[in-house]
Structure 1
Amino acid sequence: MNFWKTIAVVTSTTLIAPLNPAFAQDATAVTIVLPAGPDRLDPCETPRSVIGRIIKQNVVETLVELDYDKHTTLPRLAESWEQTAPTEWVFKLRQGITFHDGTPFDAKAVIHSLERTNDPALTCITRTKYLDGTDIKAAEVDAHTVKFTTKTAVPILPTLLAQLTISSVKTPKGEYTADPIGTGPYKFDHWTQGENVGLVRNDTYWGEKPVIDKATYVWRSESSVAAAMVETGEADLAFSIAPQDATNPETDKVYPNSDSAMFRLSVDIAPLNDVRVRKAINLAIDRKAFLGSVISDKAELAMQQVGPSVLGFNANLKPWPYDPDQAKALLAQAKAAGVDVDREIRMIGRPAMFANSNEFVEAAAEMLRSVGLNIKLDNLEMTQWLKMANKPFAEDRQPNIFLTMHDNNSGDAAFTAFFKYHSNGRQSELYDADLDALIVDAGTQSGEKRAEEYNEVFRRIYEDIVADVPLFHMVNYMRVGKRLDFTPTIANAVELQLARLKLK
């Protein structure tokens, strides 16, 4: 079948573009290759990997930092915190810290950053993914003490605040900035559109002085090109190396990430508003066929939008089997009931979403065509894809099968359930009042009760509603140059702290 030809192509030799020697560097500078370039560098957009890997904890810092290995929180700009009431938390801030523009880090800066992130004039992903549904406010107790209050109990507030980056009060509200001003160990130096971003070490940093004094970020969508840049010494580190290019055990490091790949379905548009059609799509995709070919054999089949390390992961869900005959039977039943199963459905991907993502969507589209669905495949650039990913959705849109990647490296289902499935979630296709109530209530619980309610949230989405097509809990390959002493972790899905890069 055609989709097997597609899989075979990806393992063949690819053309490598000529390498550009312009990024040759001194001994304490690094060049980092990203799979795509940023469309903005705003501090409130750091949950997006294309931005967070450049500026989070490098230029702009958070009050709280996550320890991904121990699933706990660590002090960063805040030195301590305590819960003083079910809906109140008091944070003590470090003293003697200044922003890169010379303004003081204090309670006013924290309040400014929260208000800016919550400003409806901006669609900050920090708000829409993490803060929506919490109704959180901050007030100054004194210059170095901030009290946060929430409308309902938020037991994981410190974890939540690990996503709120703090920027100078001179960062304007109501408009995005391309000049991030933080307190971090690196200062933003330049952004040459379409070419590179540069950071330089902040020699007045409040913490330990990093070894690396300069970082240049470039982007290459072709995995083989990125891998070759590190191999030849033109770059020091490259993200998102495809499995077929990760051929050097000395430099290529596989690590679990927090990303889950899935197809989101427009469940309110015919024929996808019929559950039989949604089930047929799930049955028609041979997920296991991709493992070890287009997708790393170390990835895992997904049944939900969060991975096993996340509180709320439902271990009782079972993967969809590959059963094209049953898929055809369901489509025939739907057609007999008057559902227009012949209507064109748009499958939407994005180049470099993950290694081999183009090849994956081409093969998946062919699998759906083979059971009788009318699939039109489109690969959209970042700006177009983001417009379709987020509300408001176009009123006249076609039914679509939308490839997306979602990371939850914060360890709690709250950072997925509202954003992806609540009626008010920015990327939610669902409008289910009962599910909404359960999502909200789960967010107020703690311990076993919290886990149980989120288990039920994901069960309903997967088994009852069949809201989407879960695919894989992903792993990443990173190529690390021979002069660096660095081992990637799950944190690198959304950030890369330059201060943790060491030279051999």
Structure 2
Amino acid sequence: MIKNRLGARRLVAVAAALTMAGLGLTACGSDSEKSGASSNAPIRALLNAQPTTLDPIVGPRSGQPVWGTMLEPLINTDAKFDPENTGVITDWKRDDPTTWTFTVREGISFSNGEKADAAAVANSILLNRDTEAGILKSYFGNVASVEAPDATTVVLKTKTPQYNIPNLLTNVFLLPPAYYKEKGSEGFAAAPVGTGPYVLDKVQAGRSISVKLNPDYWGEKPKNTGVDFSWSNEPSQRLALLQSKSVDVAFDLSYTQAADAKKAGLEVTSTETAVKLVAFLYAPTAPFNDPKLREAAALAIDRNAIVDGIFDGHAKADAGLLNIVPGSEPGESVTADPAKAKELVGGTSVTVPISYPAGQYTNIEEVAQAIGGSLEKAGFKVKYNPLDYGTLVKQVVGRQLNGIYMFAGVPNVAVPDFFASGFMKTVSITGNCPDPKADALVQKALEQDDAAAAAPVYDELNTLGVVDNHCFVPLYRQIFNYGTQKNVSGVQYDALGAYDFTKATR
């Protein structure tokens, strides 16, 4: 811990010089920036990584801070992350177990002049269902048809009952049908067009992306004139740029950088998120095709020791998989028991590969080492397999890994099915725990009337995967830190990872 803190401080001066040059930023600033005077000038936002694409159909949600300024979700959410009627879709009803009718707001247009009507809404849903590389494709496989009988009505039919369709539409962004078809995914990503409060201003390839006010925005106008996005994948560099006043807000600071930012007189906001680090045990092949060894591994790992020892309490230990919203707890969980873990291994010589995305998450290497050390104490042999994030995801999806792999589950929709369908089904993203009973429970949950009726099924499903099968070892929720200049206010970030710059001023 001390080494990391001192290393970060030593990097500050060098990082400021190198990164400002690379990002085209300057430390001098305007007179108002030096004095701390407020203005409605563009907000200079520093992200932790360059978006891989600005197309929400195929792009990971790491690009949402940028595209979410120009594009809007079909349905907004309230403070509890429940769907509300303030956005593009203003009302909905469930006509029967497999039919939903949605009402679309009148009089909205895309920034290129296309009509943002029911046909555009229907097309956006179908793009998510039908695009082969669609990031949400698996969540819309039950959608049988989507039609727009008139300009303000969308009728969606599912093959079997599915209670969470409105929740899923909070994660579907409205796209202009003609423009998207003309440009294709790459062309759209180069120049996104939406209905949001901002429009694309300029792009400096590999360096920055700027958005400015959409003069024809249908909703409440932003309090600033735009947002200038740049990025750095080093927390120490993000802190350095914030300290030098080269940016107004720097996202995803480690807790040591957050502490240093506070000491430097900067404002720091910390949010307990729904982003959850999970260790996945791959059950189809050795060594974890042996249920006894899966149980031993699950009992060996002490999530509380990880949170206290590595994060000094700046993370939230969490023993459940399907308890999505912060503050919710699983019905049953697994508590570390090193003695029983050693007894179950029983002196057998078993090697466990531990694969993890090096550098992707704060202190992930230390977390991997802590898990490996616990497994070794139980009698396992450990082989560490650090990978870049893209390679890890490809190998997980391609079923190329065994042993344990770790990454964060990011529930962009605040319902348990986002993890249940994403991780627990046989045909899920991870596919690490194929079990016909789990498949049946996932389907049973979706066929309930609403989230309340589905909750007991998700409790049963969580117990099956985490407690009975020992296929998942939930570790902790991330606490997300971002720093701002003292004269900056109104930047918003929520527990599901959504950014809102519309109320920001400096």
Q: Give the distance between the partners of 1:422 and 1:270, measured in 2 at CA.
A: 20
Q: Give the distance between the partners of 2:503 and 2:166, measured in 1 at CA.
A: 23
1:33 aligns with 2:46: yes
Distance 1:306-1:195 versus aligned 2 partners, 3 A rule = farther
State the match for 1:254 in structure 2.
Answer: 270
The residue type paired with residue 501 of structure 2 is L
State the match for 1:373 in structure 2.
Answer: 380
Q: How many Å apart are 1:418 and its aligned residue?
A: 1.0
The residue type paired with residue 472 of structure 2 is D
Structure 1 portions without partners, runs of 5+: 1-6, 336-340
1:306 aligns with 2:312: no
Q: Give the distance between the partners of 1:327 and 1:278, measured in 2 at CA.
A: 10
State the match for 1:338 in structure 2.
Answer: none
Distance 1:398-1:496 versus aligned 2 partners, 3 A rule = closer
Distance 1:155-1:294 versus aligned 2 partners, 3 A rule = same
1:149 aligns with 2:157: yes
State the match for 1:44 in structure 2.
Answer: 57
Q: Give the distance between the partners of 2:341 and 2:4, measured in 1 at CA.
A: 27
Deviation per CA, 1:337-396: give whole Å up to 9, x if none.
xxxx434x3322224433222332233334334444333323322321221233x42xxx
**After alignment, is 259-268 or 400-409 more displaced?**
400-409
State the match for 1:431 in structure 2.
Answer: 434
Q: Secondary structure at the match of 1:261?
A: strand
Q: How many Å apart are 1:70 and its aligned residue?
A: 6.3
1:364 aligns with 2:358: no
Q: Give the distance between the partners of 2:326 and 2:16, measured in 1 at CA.
A: 42
Q: How many Å apart are 1:261 and its aligned residue?
A: 0.7
Q: How many Å apart are 1:253 and its aligned residue?
A: 1.4
State the match for 1:226 in structure 2.
Answer: 238
The residue type paired with residue 150 of structure 2 is D
Query: Which residue of 57, 72, 92 maps to 1:81?
Result: 92
| Contact 1:36/1:352 (<8 A) preserved | no
Q: How many Å apart are 1:459 and its aligned residue?
A: 0.6
Q: Give the distance between the partners of 2:312 and 2:452, measured in 1 at CA.
A: 33
Deviation per CA, 1:163-217: give whole Å up to 9, x if none.
1111111213985552332111122345545433332222221212212223222
Number of residues of Structure 1 aligned to a counterpart in Structure 2? 478
State the match for 2:335 in structure 1.
Answer: 320
State the match for 2:294 in structure 1.
Answer: 278
Distance 1:279-1:457 versus aligned 2 partners, 3 A rule = same
Q: Secondary structure at the match of 1:253?
A: strand
Q: How many Å apart are 1:296 and its aligned residue?
A: 5.4
Deviation per CA, 1:260-289: give whole Å up to 9, x if none.
111112111101211222222223333223
Q: Secondary structure at the match of 2:275?
A: strand
1:288 aligns with 2:304: yes
| Contact 2:197/2:214 (<8 A) preserved | yes
1:10 aligns with 2:4: yes
Distance 1:402-1:98 versus aligned 2 partners, 3 A rule = same
| Contact 2:235/2:253 (<8 A) preserved | yes
| Contact 1:80/1:93 (<8 A) preserved | yes
Query: Which residue of 154, 169, 177 maps to 1:161?
Result: 169
Deviation per CA, 1:10-62: give whole Å up to 9, x if none.
3433223134163347751122222222222212256x441122212x11112
Q: Give the distance between the partners of 2:276 and 2:451, measured in 1 at CA.
A: 24
Distance 1:306-1:271 versus aligned 2 partners, 3 A rule = same
State the match for 1:131 in structure 2.
Answer: 140
Deviation per CA, 1:421-443: give whole Å up to 9, x if none.
01122233222111111110111
State the match for 2:355 in structure 1.
Answer: 348
State the match for 1:23 in structure 2.
Answer: 25
1:467 aligns with 2:480: no
State the match for 1:386 in structure 2.
Answer: 393
Q: Give the distance between the partners of 2:451 and 2:322, measured in 1 at CA.
A: 18
Distance 1:399-1:452 versus aligned 2 partners, 3 A rule = same
Structure 2 portions without partners, runs of 5+: 31-38
Deviation per CA, 1:89-133: give whole Å up to 9, x if none.
2222122222122211112212221221112422x22233x434x
Q: Secondary structure at the match of 1:62?
A: coil
| Contact 2:334/2:467 (<8 A) preserved | no
Deviation per CA, 1:201-241: give whole Å up to 9, x if none.
22221212212223222222222221222222111212221
| Contact 1:277/1:331 (<8 A) preserved | yes
Which is richer in helix?
2
State the match for 2:424 in structure 1.
Answer: 421
**After alignment, is 134-143 or 7-16 more displaced?**
7-16
1:187 aligns with 2:199: yes
TM-score, length of structure 1 as denominator length? 0.87
**After alignment, is 74-83 or 139-148 more displaced?**
74-83
Q: Secondary structure at the match of 1:166?
A: coil
The two structures, once aligned, show a CA RMSD in angstroms of 2.6
1:171 aligns with 2:180: yes
Distance 1:351-1:220 versus aligned 2 partners, 3 A rule = farther
TM-score, length of structure 2 as denominator length? 0.86
Aligned-residue identity in percent? 23
| Contact 2:342/2:377 (<8 A) preserved | no
Query: Which residue of 408, 412, 417 maps to 2:411?
Result: 408
The residue type paired with residue 446 of structure 2 is G
The residue type paired with residue 111 of structure 1 is A
Q: Give the distance between the partners of 1:230 and 1:142, measured in 2 at CA.
A: 50
| Contact 1:45/1:51 (<8 A) preserved | no
| Contact 2:278/2:406 (<8 A) preserved | yes
Q: Give the distance between the partners of 2:63 and 2:248, measured in 1 at CA.
A: 19
Query: Which residue of 109, 118, 124 maps to 1:98?
Result: 109
Distance 1:100-1:351 versus aligned 2 partners, 3 A rule = farther
